[in-house]
Amino acid sequence: MTPALSVNAGRPADGGRPDAGAAAAPARFGASPKVQTILVIDDDENLRDTVSLMLEEEGYRTVQAAEGRAGFEQALLLRPDLLLVDLRLPGMTGVEICKQLRAADVATAIIVLSAVGDEIDKVLLLEIGADDYVVKPFGARELMARIRAVLRRSSAETRRVMHIGDVEIDLERRVVSRGNEEIKLAPAEYSLLAFFLHHPDRPLTRDMILNSVWGYSCTSNTRTVDAHVLKLRQKLESDPNVPRHILTVHGVGYRFLP
């Protein structure tokens, strides 16, 4: 059995890593010129140090944050390749970090770390934007396997430019076009479209969409979602009356098919 990473693991002989510091991965012959960066957000210093050291030995660059709000701000600033974020954090929870990053159209891959006994809705975590989750204590091999799998998926997906039929969405430039003509979207319409793009082929409730895109959840305001979906269909679907991409799931909400 692979030994679990201990949150009380011994500190490195040099006295430990500086707080929220970044360390470059050691040079390797034949390594890719782009070193992938992983942001570790956890209020347990020993766990941060242990995980960061393991990642650096595997050739990754790491950045640390001990508090949720600081980690969220670093994620916005650095746009790392992957976030490892604890579920329970001071300042801002892991769930809030996921929701706010996706609402800001940050496509960074996210793995949530949760302790045994945490009341966690794993389906909800994935629906609000987490790519995977790992329960503590976890084994080093398991964590590395999940990290590599998530990074492979995020690299393989062309997240910067996506297509819906003959419509092209440039996520980096926030430009939506059909052929040579730009399709003008209001900010809320674009945010809703980006949410659909990152949650394909799954049922999405109106409350879930409201909470993730507009930042609140209230059943009396679910018509806001319906109104914006109608506008997106009119602008993106070849036949808005018979949509092929933004589908209604009766009694639930919507399902997006690229």
Across residues 249-256, what is the average pLDDT? 93
In the predicted model, what is the mean pLDDT of the chain?
81
* pLDDT (0 to 100) of residue 72: 94
In a domain, 17, yes or no: no
Rounded to the nearest 10 degrees, what angle do helices 45-57 and 140-156 cross at?
60
What pLDDT is stored for residue 125 in this prediction?
73
For 191, the domain range is 161-256
Name the range with the highest mean pLDDT among 38-52, 101-115, 163-177, 184-198.
38-52
Summarize pLDDT for 146-174 with one digit per residue, the tens: 999 888 877 655 457 788 888 999 877 78
pLDDT higher than threshold 70 for residue 12: no
Which residues are within 8 A (CB) of 171 and not within 5 positions of it... i.e. 6 or more apart? 105, 107, 159, 160, 161, 162, 194, 197
* 134 and 221 assigned to the same domain: no
Token look-up 């945490």 returns 118
Asked if residue 5 belongs to a domain, the reply is: no
The CATH number assigned to the domain holding 219 equals 1.10.10.10
Q: Which of 149-158, 201-210, 244-253 has the lowest mean pLDDT?
A: 149-158
Print burial letters for 41-67: b (CB count within 10 Å at least 16), e (below 16). bbbbebbbbbbbbbbbeeebbbbbbbb
Q: Look at residues 156, 179, 205 and tell me which one is the last residue of a structural domain.
A: 156
CATH of the domain at 117: 3.40.50.2300
**pLDDT tens per residue across span 39-83:** 999 999 999 999 999 999 999 999 999 999 999 999 998 889 999
pLDDT score, position 22: 41
The answer to whether residues 142 and 67 belong to one domain is: yes
Q: How many residues does the chain have?
A: 258
Task: Note whether 167 and 186 are same-domain residues.
Answer: yes
Total number of domains in the chain: 2
